Chain A
């Protein structure tokens, strides 16, 4: 404990991660009724975290080997599970992403949540999230990571169901919790198998042992597959993806922070965290690649069929997460993590911009927002367009560079199918993004749009809000948005320095790259070959093609704003209903689980287990009843027996 105060690095790590917890406790216990004070405590603690994270990043940017603080925590003969901090480039990068975006979102929320009765509660949960997420990021062992992983899930549940008086919100919170938990079961089973087979959950040692083939191959594959279940749940990958769109029931800043930028990226982060371990199991990597691809394509199609502003970004998040998983699974450690970084920036930007519109027009339908003059809100409109360009992968915005990196990795994969899937995904991303943007930029009057009625925002013109635009509420929302837009503009150019940082000497992925010459490293150098330019051209063509396509259908003057999907109503229905995944899960639950397994288990429970226990109970009760005849409550009989016994003993002693 003394070393805590002597070592500034340890102090910064401990302070940065645990201050939000303190602020949550203070808010929940003391300052619930003082909203302003609650917000300042929360924002103050998270800004301290930002400072600590930046200090750690600057101090340790040339540290080389990862710094690890471990205190033995769980000891069971030869199994030691540590508790502490692991500071390596990946965790430092993620720590900074989380801290900065948490900070911006909390500042933004001051305006967005102003006047909400649960303001203090909101900030308490935000602090809880910040604490759990940052502690998860710098966890040195998988168990600690898992604990905070679950806490992050709890924060997500609480924040999705923030408007708990709303039925759909509370249902969405439950859905998110249960679905992610489904994946976490696999995660935890994987950890158990790992402990049994390997006896250690330290991330560093796991990665090293994976490299050194100290873990039997079958064990590695099984545990890697099971742990990938956690990634599927948390990052909303293919079978478990429908919770994320529903999670948009929460306040928009929550969607920005948890359900696009940081929390859902936790799955991808964990994948990257034990990437060297994973890369030793080609089966797991292949499965991850397939699942990432399917997720990306499916959710892109879903995004084309919705008119809900936040839903579009939610589907887009799912698809981009799938894209990151593809990048990682194809062996591109840096590409995946880089895309995670840039995506966190521009997706938070998009959500926060949408939040301003939603706050202003009290509707989620972007057609209505556009018709009511959404484009007149200059700052969010410009920033949103910047975010959309970044999402579509247009030079010079950050998304361009990271998408390029991922596509480069895919291009190096022996199976070109994945590359085409990636390019198709890029096309669809650009299309649905700019479908939304053009709806808002070039609205057609209500008469031109078939059967659309302005039902939501009637009587709530933005004239009332003109004054508010210049009030603090608007600026607390606008400033974080502008900062994020600026980050999205410049982040892409830090690619090479980030790459150097992440793959610097001494880190495990670097050793991996050096010893195996895998794709991760190959891309970094091969990227300058001729093939790279062809790829670049293809990607840009896809993005621009998607935008033009969207412009043709929605943007130009005589556009019908219907989209090609209107021609295939069945397909549109399919996309809008999320490929009937929810319906399928429902049927699956009803038919297989409820009427099948549950029935059997219930019967087993009633007949055998309950019956057995009941039998024991009846026996106990019966024998007790028999014995209780002795306890007649008749004092005189008790005394009689006692005296008679004494007399008999005396007589026996006399006669013997």
Chain B
């Protein structure tokens, strides 16, 4: 249980589940939720390396903190974009947002 690879695999699995959500959800908010999952997978990785390998245990924690801060910013921006898009398209279905189609 308390082995580096366990945590790495948990992180990779979280990330992959998030990826799956990002790739198949059509609801933009659902995608945003999936992105949060991916970020958490990465965070677990950081914390695991910090726990088992890093010379100073503070560094990984600080990085995780930073990622959380960025995630908060990303969530705020992402949600506001979703709201703007919703007003424009009256939908938060990603497949409706196709203005750039060639």
Write the residues of chain A forming the contact surface with B, with a CB cutoff of 8 angstroms.
624, 627-636, 639-640, 643
Let me know if A636 and B23 touch, CB within 8 A.
yes
Let me know if A634 and B102 touch, CB within 8 A.
no
A residues less than 8 Å from B94 (CB atoms): 634-636
B residues less than 8 Å from A635 (CB atoms): 94, 97
B residues less than 8 Å from A630 (CB atoms): 102
A643 to B97, CA, bound (A): 21
Closest 9 CB pairs of A and B: A628-B102, A631-B102, A633-B101, A633-B98, A640-B23, A633-B100, A636-B23, A632-B101, A635-B94
Does B42 have its Cβ within 8 Å of any Cβ on chain A? no
B residues less than 8 Å from A627 (CB atoms): 102
A631 to B102, CA, bound (A): 5
In the complex, per-residue mask of B70-102: 1 if CB is within 8 Å of any chain A CB, else 0: 000000000000000000000000110111111
Closest to B95 in A: A634
Let me know if A636 and B24 touch, CB within 8 A.
yes
Let me know if A639 and B102 touch, CB within 8 A.
no
B residues less than 8 Å from A634 (CB atoms): 94-95, 98
A640 to B21, CA, bound (A): 11
Closest to B24 in A: A636
Closest to B99 in A: A633
Which listed residue (B23, B99, B100, B102) contacts A643, Cβ 8 A?
B23
- Mind listing 6 A-B residue pairs with CB under 8 Å? A629-B102, A632-B98, A633-B98, A634-B98, A636-B23, A643-B23
A643 to B15, CA, bound (A): 12
A636 to B99, CA, bound (A): 14
Does B14 have its Cβ within 8 Å of any Cβ on chain A? no
Write the residues of chain B forming the contact surface with A, with a CB cutoff of 8 angstroms.
19, 22-24, 94-95, 97-102
A630 to B101, CA, bound (A): 9
A residues less than 8 Å from B22 (CB atoms): 636, 639
A639 to B98, CA, bound (A): 15
B residues less than 8 Å from A636 (CB atoms): 22-24, 94
B residues less than 8 Å from A640 (CB atoms): 23
A residues less than 8 Å from B100 (CB atoms): 631, 633
Give the distance to chain B from A269, nearest Cβ to Cβ, in Å: 64
A639 to B22, CA, bound (A): 9
A628 to B100, CA, bound (A): 10
A627 to B19, CA, bound (A): 26
A640 to B102, CA, bound (A): 18
A627 to B102, CA, bound (A): 8
Give the distance to chain A from B39, nearest Cβ to Cβ, in Å: 16
Let me know if A639 and B101 touch, CB within 8 A.
no
A633 to B97, CA, bound (A): 7
Let me know if A639 and B95 touch, CB within 8 A.
no
A636 to B21, CA, bound (A): 10
B residues less than 8 Å from A643 (CB atoms): 19, 23
Give the distance to chain A from B24, nearest Cβ to Cβ, in Å: 7
Closest to B31 in A: A636
Determine which residue in B22, B99, B101, B102 has the highest number of CB atoms from chain A within 10 A of its CB, and name it: B102
- Taking A627-B102, A631-B102 as contacts, is the C-beta distance between A639 and B23 under 8 angstroms? yes
Let me know if A628 and B101 touch, CB within 8 A.
yes
A residues less than 8 Å from B99 (CB atoms): 633
A628 to B24, CA, bound (A): 22
A633 to B98, CA, bound (A): 4
A628 to B102, CA, bound (A): 5
A639 to B20, CA, bound (A): 11
A residues less than 8 Å from B97 (CB atoms): 633, 635
A635 to B35, CA, bound (A): 14
A residues less than 8 Å from B95 (CB atoms): 634
B residues less than 8 Å from A624 (CB atoms): 102
B residues less than 8 Å from A628 (CB atoms): 101-102
Give the distance to chain A from B96, nearest Cβ to Cβ, in Å: 10
Closest to B28 in A: A635
A633 to B95, CA, bound (A): 8
A515 to B22, CA, bound (A): 98
Give the distance to chain B from A42, nearest Cβ to Cβ, in Å: 59
Closest to A643 in B: B19
Closest to B101 in A: A633
Give the distance to chain B from A33, nearest Cβ to Cβ, in Å: 51
Give the distance to chain A from B33, nearest Cβ to Cβ, in Å: 15
A residues less than 8 Å from B19 (CB atoms): 643
Closest to A637 in B: B23
| Extra inter-chain contacts (10) besides given A627-B102, A630-B102, A632-B101, CB under 8 Å | A624-B102, A628-B102, A631-B102, A632-B98, A632-B102, A633-B101, A634-B98, A635-B94, A636-B22, A639-B23
A631 to B24, CA, bound (A): 18
Closest to B25 in A: A636
A residues less than 8 Å from B102 (CB atoms): 624, 627-633
A640 to B20, CA, bound (A): 9
Closest to A628 in B: B102
Give the distance to chain B from A194, nearest Cβ to Cβ, in Å: 55
A643 to B19, CA, bound (A): 9
Give the distance to chain B from A651, nearest Cβ to Cβ, in Å: 14
B residues less than 8 Å from A632 (CB atoms): 98, 101-102
A302 to B22, CA, bound (A): 91
Closest to A630 in B: B102
Give the distance to chain B from A86, nearest Cβ to Cβ, in Å: 63
